[in-house]
Chains A and B, each alone.
Chain A
Amino acid sequence: DAGVTQSPTHLIKTRGQQVTLRCSPKSGHDTVSWYQQALGQGPQFIFQYYEEEERQRGNFPDRFSGHQFPNYSSELNVNALLLGDSALYLCASSPEWSGGTDTQYFGPGTRLTVL
């Protein structure tokens, strides 16, 4: 059983550019969440997708947007990149909601460097 997969592994962009990161959830999972992990910090919640809709959003600007496809895979888009967007971007998938106890399974992440 393949776990959560993310692509690409690494990415280098320059300020002002746009980037798209991709995620395929674990088999049987319909919910995808995205997190940003800056160097030396814990992951911070960006947003969560369920049934192709953004269900919850963290404290991130509108430059961060996403999409979920009918096969539950997801994309994270970041526009007008800033140096501060350099981070490890983690995708997590989870099964149908079970009252908050559901486990989120994380992918290996995409390391984004903005120069």
Chain B
Amino acid sequence: AQSVTQLGSHVSVSEGALVLLRCNYSSSVPPYLFWYVQYPNQGLQLLLKYTSAATLVKGINGFEAEFKKSETSFHLTKPSAHMSDAAEYFCAVSEANSGYSTLTFGKGTMLLVSP
């Protein structure tokens, strides 16, 4: 079975600083990878996804992630944090089977942004 590990349950940055959220995956086949964001008391919103078209994926709100097969990683970055980025971020891998796919999520990383 595929799995996802997110290093760091909490990450704190100052406004304007670089955001780096780490995600490593385990998969026996080429994976499809996703980053979702969850604001308090809300559902999950897709930030970006890797579908093997390009290793550097750009998403919404200035986020991007790079797929590195040799490191089995898909880290999420943003050059300059905004207060509005404070939320919980989830990395997920798609388990594609014959005709259907489901998501396996990591435990999440809470991003805290201080002024």
Beta-carbon contacts under 8 Å, B97-113 to A: 97, 99-108
Q: What range describes how many residues of B lie at the interface?
A: 20 to 34
**A104 touching B103 by the CB < 8 A rule?**
yes
**A56 touching B105 by the CB < 8 A rule?**
no
Given contacts A97-B99, A100-B32, are A90 and B43 in contact (CB under 8 A)?
A: yes
Given contacts A4-B43, A106-B43, A108-B42, are A44 and B100 in contact (CB under 8 A)?
A: no
**B46 touching A103 by the CB < 8 A rule?**
yes
Interface of A is mostly: loop
**A106 touching B101 by the CB < 8 A rule?**
no
Q: B-facing mask of A43-59, CB < 8 A → 1, else 0?
A: 11100101000011010
- Say yes or no for B45: interface residue by CB 8 A criterion: yes
- Say yes or no for B56: interface residue by CB 8 A criterion: no
Counting residue pairs across A and B whose Cβ atoms lie within 8 Å, the total is 69
- Say yes or no for B83: interface residue by CB 8 A criterion: no
Q: B-facing mask of A20-54, CB < 8 A → 1, else 0?
A: 00000000000101010000111111001010000
Given contacts A4-B43, A42-B107, are A102 and B101 in contact (CB under 8 A)?
A: yes
Given contacts A103-B46, A107-B43, are A45 and B101 in contact (CB under 8 A)?
A: no
Q: A-facing mask of B71-115, CB < 8 A → 1, else 0?
A: 000000000000000000010101111011111111110000000
- Say yes or no for B12: interface residue by CB 8 A criterion: no
**A43 touching B94 by the CB < 8 A rule?**
no
Known: A35-B103, A90-B44; 19 extra A-B contacts, CB below 8 A, are A31-B100, A33-B102, A40-B107, A42-B4, A42-B92, A43-B44, A43-B105, A45-B102, A45-B103, A58-B102, A92-B103, A97-B99, A100-B94, A100-B95, A101-B32, A101-B51, A103-B49, A105-B46, A106-B36
